[in-house]
Amino acid sequence: MSMYRNRYFLAGILLILLGIQFRMVDSFLLNESTTRALARVTKSTPVADNSTMSSFLMQVHPKPMKRVTPPRWLGLAMIAVGVVCSSHALAIPRSHS
């Protein structure tokens, strides 16, 4: 098998495994530094607003953390692309060196 063929196969397997991982989780909780970096990049409003519930939560858990919920179709799409990529790797003719 050539390196070209191996890379396609590896990329496909990694996409399949990553897609399975995305199907198994409901949401990701980002840490404080990632949340602040995401807020700077997207130029969004601060994570916490000025409501009473928010101020109470900031006293209990002062570090702002963002919860990211990936769409349900993302895992299936990654699995599908991974299967196509791996199948393509098997269809590539072997190079005779």
Whole-model pTM over 0.85: no
Q: How far apart are CA 80 and CA 74, in angstroms?
A: 10
For the cut 70, the answer to whether the pLDDT of residue 97 exceeds it is: no
Q: Which residues contact 10 (CB under 8 A, 6 or more apart)?
A: none
Helix and strand totals (H; E) in the chain: 4, 2
**Confidence check: pLDDT of 21 > 90:** yes
Strands (E), 1-97: 28-29, 67-68
Residues 71, 38: Cα–Cα separation, whole Å: 18
CA geometry: angle 62, 36, 69, nearest 5 deg: 90
Domain ranges of the chain: 1-25+71-97, 28-69
Distance CA 20, CA 83 (A): 12
Tell me: the pLDDT tens digits for 46-96?
A: 555 555 655 555 555 567 788 889 998 999 999 999 999 999 999 888 766
